[in-house]
Amino acid sequence: MPKFNPDSQLNIHELTVEEPEKQTPGHDAEPFLTEVFSWIRDKSGYGNPSKLYFTEMGDIIDMRLSGLVIPDKFIDETTDGITWKKVTYEGVFSDLKERLKGKKIISIIANNWYLKVVNDKENKKIANDVPQMPENKQF
């Protein structure tokens, strides 16, 4: 029978577990909007997209492009409708990139074209709520 060798045993305290990095869903706003604006300018006949207006309500931005058929490559999800309670901001598209800098967005087709700003704080809160392993106590 082989002898017990404590050095050959796996020490549970030395194990490390690498968790995969949690990805925030959605597109990085700046490159996505650059591509969308280029498409609007080049393909749609709208001319200069910086003169178009958008409105914002909470985490939803209405790009006010209801008369424009948006290509499928720009659409993430579809919904039957979004109810507007109060418009909190109105500005030109040139402000939109700066406003969304460093954020993630999800595009939505409803009765208009919307961008949903992904809530990074909520994603971080969820990640922090993951239960941690209790310390191993000696008895």
pLDDT in tens, 10-22: 555 565 666 666 6
Question: What does the alpha-carbon distance between residue 128 and residue 67 come to, in Å, rounded to a whole number?
Answer: 43
- According to the model, what pLDDT value does residue 137 have? 54
Task: Number of helices (H) and strands (E) in the chain: give both, helices first.
Answer: 3, 7
What is residue 37's three-state secondary structure?
A: helix
Residues of the chain where predicted confidence (pLDDT) is lower than 50: 122-131
Instruction: Look up residue 47 and give its amino acid.
Output: G
The answer to whether position 20 is within a domain reads no
Under DSSP, the state recorded for 14 is: G
- According to the model, what pLDDT value does residue 9 have? 57
The answer to whether position 137 is within a domain reads no
What is residue 56's three-state secondary structure?
A: strand
Tokens representing residue 74 in the block: 């720009």
- According to the model, what pLDDT value does residue 109 have? 84
- Count: domains in the chain: 1
- According to the model, what pLDDT value does residue 70 have? 84
The answer to whether position 51 is within a domain reads yes
The answer to whether position 82 is within a domain reads yes
Under DSSP, the state recorded for 101 is: T
The answer to whether position 83 is within a domain reads yes
Tokens representing residue 95 in the block: 């402000």
Rounded alpha-carbon distances, angstroms, from residue 118 to 38, 107, 138: 23, 10, 44
The answer to whether position 134 is within a domain reads no
Which range of residues forms the domain containing residue 82? 27-120
- According to the model, what pLDDT value does residue 32 have? 92
- According to the model, what pLDDT value does residue 62 have? 86
The answer to whether position 128 is within a domain reads no
